[in-house]
């Protein structure tokens, strides 16, 4: 069984996001870029399925600018067998990403596609669902537990009301939630081995994918700054202040 | 107070406290039993707290009034910050007045031209980090207790921590201090000057004095630019003799900001405490190192260092952080050690030697500890890149506290002799306090200690500033 994993590069979770002064986007130059945390979880799950003998091959794929090769090498170092780099200079929106992954599915014929439930840069949470629809296969989103047996996967999902367990026929799309697993550390010997693992490069323009980018962002702005607190002398002054603000 | 204190003496000190209340009606004073216990001790648990009362001043003027009152009444003062100390420096066990700086915990000023931050002594180290970040700068002294330890305590112990190899100790970052002396005078030491060749630098004397020369009531801290992006590597190291070889290899190629080690026993306790396991196979030693990795050349250099160490047999395996979250997870393996050991009431050694003396010293000490502590769980970790080792001996559950301490003190005596031979120090960064007092003579010569006594007498003629700490 082959598993295809989406592996997006985003601004590191711990970096304090700064908006460009002209409002055209967020600052990414000189900022730490890492794998989307949900995609790390997706890759970890795929590797565990391979280690259990259920999968035989794990392929990581990203849609990113040409300088994202090092990012894919990290995915290979973590344990993926192969990587596919779909090169584009532009950020793509979920529908375009889903169409690209459909192309990759046609090419690779995976039994399971595991994606992060969302990427922490735009937080769209759409690509997995769109891909399942385009592919016309089942989807199991927000997975916190995945058990594969035969031609089906039993997936425990994190939903508003608690946990929901569903069974989907394979092939299927699974998207990961935070509690699914804890991704492993990348070993230095594996980083060296990853240098010789196959990394295929495709140009997005050559894939014949119609762009689904229909949204245009006109402006980025940081959230309003919290104003400084004021010190009150005593409880009476506090009550008075709360009353003038209409909070009491 | 000692057991034979007469009731007349007791009522005299109560009268003294009333006197303070009358003179300073706004001063917050605590005398409830729970407060006396809470504020009367640090992280050591060997002494029973028994202070007279707890004062929580809000201003320098109140601190001065307290000092004058104590001077007149002959009552001893113990300064108190976050009380995360490990040497008993903040313990009040014999009728002292604890002066807690808990309410003096604010940032007073930021000067963008001088790049300094002026703070009150009770501010937590982490709050200083955050305040510096607001201005796009850093205060680089850092260690695991950051959330609760205070700058006043950092100054009084000349705290070091995890980035000493790049940034040095607290001492390097104090541009100025305000000190209230035993007679209530307020001194402004160095006033933020970078260059000042005008005699004795009393500021530096106060740093590391463990509160024996007066009360630090304000500090002006130097700030600096944030470092470039970094990565963290963890190495599995097969033998002790390889540790310093790995250090040499890393230092040659990488711009290091930290180089720490710990033993498998330490890892065992941190993992039991819930950390993520880094390797499938066990190795006797581990190294955590942090280095600048802003560009691909630096990242490539790190891989080459690893490859070289692997080929030379100095490391078995290694992992590299791929995100800041993973860097934090790797750091947790080192920084979580102290907390994971706390339930075992560890006896702590905090020792240092010159970096060049580390290999021979490690050899000698390891055979000493194996010989003397065959039955105890001994956990090693520390800032090996700056020659500082923390050796924690865990108390077996069945052994009484006093017996355990007695056995450890006997071994520390031997350890102190080894240290003296290698020119090391019995306290690298925790301070002498009460715990290490018996071994000071192994680190400082009789003439040196006599001069220190003289300095203390000049600052504090009646011996009221944190008496019993550092030396008697």
Q: In three state form, how does the secondary structure of chain A look?
A: CEEEEECCEEECCCCCCCECCCCCCECCCCCCEEECHHHHHHHHHHHHHHHCCCCCEEEEEEEECHHHHHHHHHHHHHCCCEEEEEECCCCCCHHHHHHHHHHHHHHHCCCEEEEECCCCCCCCCCHHHHHHHHHCCCEEEEEEEEEEECCEEEEEEEECCEEEEEEEECCEEEEECHHHCCCCCEEHHHHHHHCCCCEEEEEHHHHCCCCCCCCCCCCCCCCCCCCCCCCCCCHHHHHHHHHHCCCC
Contact, B30 vs B17, CB < 8 A?
A: no
Per DSSP, which regions of B340-398 are E strands? 347-352, 377-383, 388-394
Shortest Cα distance from A65 to chain B (angstroms)? 17
Q: State the best of A80, A187, A193, A195 to mutate against chain B, taking most chain B CBs within 10 Å.
A: A187
Q: Which residues of B touch A13 (CB under 8 A)?
A: 323-325
For the segment B267-290, the average pLDDT, to the nearest whole number, is: 93
Shortest Cα distance from A76 to chain B (angstroms)? 13
* Mean per-residue pLDDT of chain A: 94
Per-residue pLDDT of B77-100, as tens digits, reads: 999 999 999 999 999 999 999 999
Q: What is the pLDDT of residue B70?
A: 97
B472 has pLDDT over 70: yes
Q: What is the pLDDT of residue B324?
A: 85
For the segment B259-265, the average pLDDT, to the nearest whole number, is: 95
Contact, B255 vs B289, CB < 8 A?
A: no
User: pLDDT-derived band of residue B10, with 50, 70 and 90 as boundaries?
Assistant: low
CA atoms within 13 A on the CB side of A40: 26
For the segment B214-243, the average pLDDT, to the nearest whole number, is: 95
Per-residue pLDDT of A128-146, as tens digits, reads: 999 999 999 999 999 999 9
User: pLDDT-derived band of residue B1, with 50, 70 and 90 as boundaries?
Assistant: very low
Q: Which residues of B touch A185 (CB under 8 A)?
A: 234, 276, 278, 319-321, 326, 329-330
For the segment B40-62, the average pLDDT, to the nearest whole number, is: 95
Contact, B224 vs B115, CB < 8 A?
A: yes
Determine whether A243 is exposed, middle or buried from the number of CB atoms within 10 Å of its CB (0-12, 13-18, 19+).
exposed
Contact A192 B323 (CB under 8 A): no
Q: Which residues of B touch A40 (CB under 8 A)?
A: 322-323
- Integer angstrom CA distances of residue B149 from B101, B276, B332: 11, 26, 18
B71 has pLDDT over 70: yes
Angstrom distance (rounded) from CA B338 to CA B161: 13
B145 has pLDDT over 70: yes
pTM: 0.84
Top pLDDT among B280 and B305 is at B305
Q: What is the pLDDT of residue B3?
A: 45
For the segment A3-22, the average pLDDT, to the nearest whole number, is: 92
Q: What is the pLDDT of residue B9?
A: 66
Q: What is the pLDDT of residue B6?
A: 54
Top pLDDT among A179 and B2 is at A179
Q: Is the dihedral of CA B294, A43, A176, A117 positive or negative?
A: positive
In this structure, of A75-79, A162-166, A228-232, B397-401, the range with the lowest mean pLDDT score is A228-232
Q: What is the pLDDT of residue B2?
A: 45
Q: What is the pLDDT of residue B203?
A: 98
Say what the ipTM of the complex is: 0.74
Angstrom distance (rounded) from CA B126 to CA B143: 10
């Amino acid at each position: 069984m082959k598993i295809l994993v989406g592996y997006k590069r985003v601004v590191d979770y711990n970096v304090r996001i700064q908006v460009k002064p002209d409002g055209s986007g967020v600052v990414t130059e000189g900022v730490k870029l890492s794998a989307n945390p949900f995609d790390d979880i997706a890759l970890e799950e795929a590797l565990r399925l391979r280690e259990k003998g259920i999968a035989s091959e794990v392929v990581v794929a990203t849609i990113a600018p040409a300088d994202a090769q090092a990012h894919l090498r990290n995915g290979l170092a973590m344990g993926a067998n192969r990587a596919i780099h779909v090169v584009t200079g532009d950020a793509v929106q979920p529908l375009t990403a889903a169409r690209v992954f459909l192309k990759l599915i046609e090419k690779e014929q995976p039994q399971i596609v595991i994606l992060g439930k969302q990427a922490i840069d735009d937080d769209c949470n759409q690509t997995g669902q769109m891909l399942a629809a385009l592919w016309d296969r089942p989807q199991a989103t927000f997975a916190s537990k995945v058990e594969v047996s035969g031609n089906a996967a039993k997936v425990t999902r994190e939903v508003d009301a608690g946990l929901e367990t569903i069974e989907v026929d394979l092939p299927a799309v699974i998207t990961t939630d935070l509690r699914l697993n804890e991704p492993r550390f990348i070993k230095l010997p594996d980083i060296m081995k990853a240098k010789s693992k196959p990394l295929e490069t495709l140009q997005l323009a050559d894939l014949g994918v119609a762009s689904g980018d229909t949204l245009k962002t006109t402006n980025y702005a940081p959230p309003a700054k919290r104003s400084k607190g004021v010190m009150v002398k005593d409880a009476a002054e506090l009550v008075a202040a709360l009353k003038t603000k209409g909070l009491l | 107070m000692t057991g034979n204190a007469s009731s007349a003496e007791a009522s005299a000190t109560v009268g003294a406290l009333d006197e303070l209340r009358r003179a300073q009606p706004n001063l917050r004073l605590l005398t409830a039993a729970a407060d006396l216990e809470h504020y009367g001790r640090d992280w050591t648990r060997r002494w029973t707290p028994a202070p007279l009362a707890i004062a929580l001043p809000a201003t320098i003027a109140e601190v001065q009034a307290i000092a004058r009152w104590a001077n007149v009444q002959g009552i001893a003062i113990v300064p108190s910050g976050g009380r995360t100390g490990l040497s008993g420096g903040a313990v009040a066990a014999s009728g002292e007045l604890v002066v807690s700086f808990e309410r003096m915990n604010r940032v007073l000023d930021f000067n963008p031209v001088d790049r300094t931050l002026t703070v009150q002594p009770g501010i937590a180290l982490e709050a200083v980090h955050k305040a510096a970040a607001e201005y796009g700068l850093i205060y680089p002294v850092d260690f695991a207790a950051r959330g609760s330890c205070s700058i006043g305590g950092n100054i009084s112990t000349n705290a070091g921590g995890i980035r000493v190899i790049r940034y040095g100790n607290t001492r390097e970052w104090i541009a100025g201090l305000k000190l209230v002396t035993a007679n209530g005078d307020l001194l402004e030491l160095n006033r933020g000057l970078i260059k000042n060749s005008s005699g004795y630098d009393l500021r530096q004397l106060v740093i590391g004095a463990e509160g024996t020369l007066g009360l630090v009531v304000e500090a002006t801290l130097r700030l600096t630019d944030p470092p470039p992006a970094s990565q963290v590597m963890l190495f599995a190291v097969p033998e002790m003799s390889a540790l310093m070889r790995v250090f040499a290899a890393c230092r040659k190629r990488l711009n290091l900001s930290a180089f720490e080690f710990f033993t498998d026993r330490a890892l065992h306790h941190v993992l039991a405490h819930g950390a993520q396991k880094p390797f499938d196979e066990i190795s006797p030693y581990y190294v955590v190192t942090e280095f600048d990795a802003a560009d691909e050349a630096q990242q490539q250099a790190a891989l080459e260092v690893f490859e070289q160490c692997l080929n030379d047999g100095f490391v078995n395996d290694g992992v590299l952080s791929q995100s800041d979250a993973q860097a934090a997870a790797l750091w947790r393996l080192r920084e979580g050690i102290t907390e994971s050991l706390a339930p075992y009431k560890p006896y702590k050694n905090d020792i240092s030697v010159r970096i060049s003396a580390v290999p021979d010293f490690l050899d000698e000490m390891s055979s000493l500890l194996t010989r003397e502590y065959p039955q105890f769980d001994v956990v090693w970790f520390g800032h090996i890149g700056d020659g500082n080792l923390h050796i924690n001996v865990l108390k077996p559950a069945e052994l009484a506290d006093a017996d355990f301490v007695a056995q450890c003190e006997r071994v520390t005596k031997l350890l102190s002799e080894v240290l003296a031979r290698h020119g090391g120090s019995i306290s690298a960064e925790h301070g002498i306090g009460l715990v290490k007092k018996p071994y000071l003579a192994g680190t400082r010569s009789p003439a040196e200690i006599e001069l220190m006594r003289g300095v203390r007498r000049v600052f504090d003629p009646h011996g009221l500033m944190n008496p019993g700490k550092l030396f008697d």
